[in-house]
Amino acid sequence: MTKIKVLHIATDYPGSISNAPTQALKNLVEGAVDLDSIVVVVSRVRKIIFSVKLEGNVIHLQIPKLPFGLLSEPIFYFAAKKLREFIDEKKYIFNVIHAHKLTLDGVIAYFLSKDIKVPLVVSVRGDTDRRFVKYKLLSRCLYRNIVKQASCIFWVSPWARKFIEDKLRVSCGNNHNLPNICDYEFSEAIAVNNSSKLIFVGRLDSAKDKGLFDILQAMTSFKNCSLDIFGRGTEQEVGHLVNLIANYRLEQRVSYKGNVAKSELLKNYSCYAGLLMPSKHETFGMVYVEALKSGLPILMCKGTGINGFVEEKDYIFKVSYGDINAIKSALFELINEQVELKIKLNNDLNNGDYILFESEEIISSYQSVLVSLSNEV
């Protein structure tokens, strides 16, 4: 059986070209072995350049990034033309084009799809796509046309769907949820421990948006817990965090542990009562899935992260961003009811409630959608 040929267009693809925050996209592409995939990595640079060349096993497309997003649509249009020339030169043939962000990759893919007349599918990622749709008012007509042309919309952030549809005044037709893939193998036997320790995992350059400062403020009046903080940070960012901890007089209860390998970190999740990350506009939040699959209750924000993938659960605490009182209430329950919460979570894990986050499930569903689209052409 001939494999379906897929051209992926992505600005965030892990490797030497792009400093992608996670391996999720690479996990999807490399895991979909029933597809024949080629990846175009888009680099936006602050100089006038249009360059397309093979680098290793990916196509590297460099395009200009002007201040304030000036002339972005003509730039994307010309980039699509340059990419088409390269495709013709190399005699590549594709059955499907997958743009991995609506408002960036999607624009290039839209023009290319119209040119070579193959189906277009688009992923929507909540943080970037929501922000561009909200603020780039003059581009909304283009974004609307992309959604209309797309044969399928993959929602990496289902929580953003209503916002996108409302702002673009469009109803998305063929929709599928597409969780990010976690590349860590989880233990089937999860210990239920009682602990007064909580954990935060996230880069310090986005600590405020990820709710860390709100957590520290809430801890000043809820004293029956401690917090370990894991994540990368510059010397300046670490210094700012240490000063903030001192200002709140939390030095005896809050510790910055630095950046630790994920495999090592997840092995120690059972030592904690819960994971805290009440983050604003979190695209997906792999840390939520990793915590839940490790048997750890979580604190997150409403209308973001994995909302839209999971049902309401007692062990998933949802607060409004910046609501200190709600965070304090969640801390109280996480500490004082953690055994019951962990037992409920373990029962749901054993019942298969989170199989939708298994890589085999995600990849199988993804491949099936693309094969069906190709068959319809």
Angle between helices 72-90 and 105-116 (to 10 degrees): 50
**Among 2.60.40.10, 3.30.565.10, 3.40.109.10, 3.40.50.2000, what is the CATH number of 197-355?**
3.40.50.2000
Q: Which pLDDT value is given to residue 376?
A: 65
Give 256: exposed, middle or buried? Use CB within 10 Å, 0-12, 13-18, 19+.
Answer: middle
Superfamily of domain 4-178: Glycogen Phosphorylase B; (3.40.50.2000)
Are the CB atoms for 151 and 129 separated by under 8 Å?
no
Residue intervals of the chain classified under CATH 3.40.50.2000 are 4-178, 197-355
Q: Give the amino acid at 21.
A: P
How much is the pLDDT for 187?
Answer: 57
Q: What is the DSSP code (8-state) at residue 305?
A: T
Give pLDDT, residue 339.
93
pTM of whole model > 0.75? yes
> Using the 8-state DSSP alphabet, how is residue 275 labeled?
E
pLDDT of 186 reads 64
Measured CA to CA, the distance from residue 298 to residue 332 in angstroms comes to 13
Q: Please report which helix (H) or strand (E) contains residue 319, including its range.
A: strand 316-319
Q: How far apart are CA 210 and CA 109, in angstroms?
A: 31
Give average pLDDT by consecutive 10-residue segment, the chain, 377 residues: 90 74 86 94 92 91 90 94 95 95 97 95 94 95 96 96 96 91 68 86 95 96 94 95 96 95 87 95 92 94 94 95 96 95 94 92 95 76
Task: Decide if 155 contacts 303 (C-beta within 8 A).
Answer: no
Which residue's structure tokens are 């959608």?
Answer: 369
pLDDT value at residue 137: 94
Q: What is the pLDDT of residue 21?
A: 67
Per-residue pLDDT at 69: 82
d(CA 152, CA 147): 8
182 C-beta neighbours (distance < 10 Å), count = 22
Report pLDDT for 189.
Answer: 54
Helix spans in 63-125 (H): 72-90, 105-116
Query: Which strands make up the sheet holding 274-276, listed edge to edge?
Result: 254-258, 226-230, 197-201, 274-276, 298-301, 316-319
Task: For residue 94, report the phi and psi dihedrals to the nearest 5 degrees.
Answer: -130, 150
Residue 276's beta-bridge partner residues? 299
CA-to-CA distance for 147 and 361, rounded, in angstroms? 25
Q: Determine phi and psi for 165, rounding to 5 degrees.
A: -65, -40
